[in-house]
Amino acid sequence: MTTVYDFTVKDRAGNDVDLGTYRGKLLMIVNTATGCGFTPHYEPLEQMYRDLRDKGFEILDFPCNQFGDQAPGSDEEIHSFCTLKFGTEFPQFSKIDVNGDTASPLFAFLATEKPFEGFGKGIKNAALNKFADMNNKKYGDKAYIKWNFTKFLIDREGRVISRFEPTADMIDVRKAVEQAL
């Protein structure tokens, strides 16, 4: 059975990182962007990381520029923005694609394990769905991730246990993390 530990990703410097090094940790893997309306999610993510990392929790941040060009900077520019504006300390990896033929195999796996089930109800969510559909038409059946700040919760054995769309309340996300710990 495939788990997240079977994947290798690139760090900001372009070096290979075997995700098996996170074996035994509860992980949250998230695709991010610095110019998105959901960028403020960095704040509760960082707070959760600071509060829970000593209990074996890690957040793995993968910037992505596939949604309205909202992460246009270099890996270092993105990292500087996140550390200066939000004080992020959790690991941030090299910018990736999460959709299409160039999609990160990790994100294709995550999305296959926990497919998109909708953004939820309400006007804001309906508007995001319309915007996401327009953006993702070019990826066809390889539109794995619908928008920035999609979060996947991974258990200590490397299995995907939850998917949270960017519209999910961060209080609910934190509750799920605390319960999984």
Catalytic residue (one of 27, 29, 30, 36): 36
CA distance 95 to 44: 21
| 44 φ/ψ angles, rounded to the nearest 5 degrees | -70, -30
Nearest to 108 by CA among 140, 145, 71: 145
How many other C-beta atoms are found inside a 10 Å radius of the C-beta of residue 74? 12
DSSP 18: E
Structure tokens at 173: 């996300």
What is the rounded CA–CA span in Å between residue 136 and residue 119? 14
Whole-angstrom distance, CA of residue 21 vs CA of residue 166: 27
36 in active site: yes
List phi, psi (to 5°) of 96.
-135, 170
What is the SS3 assignment for 78? helix
**What residues are labeled active site?**
36
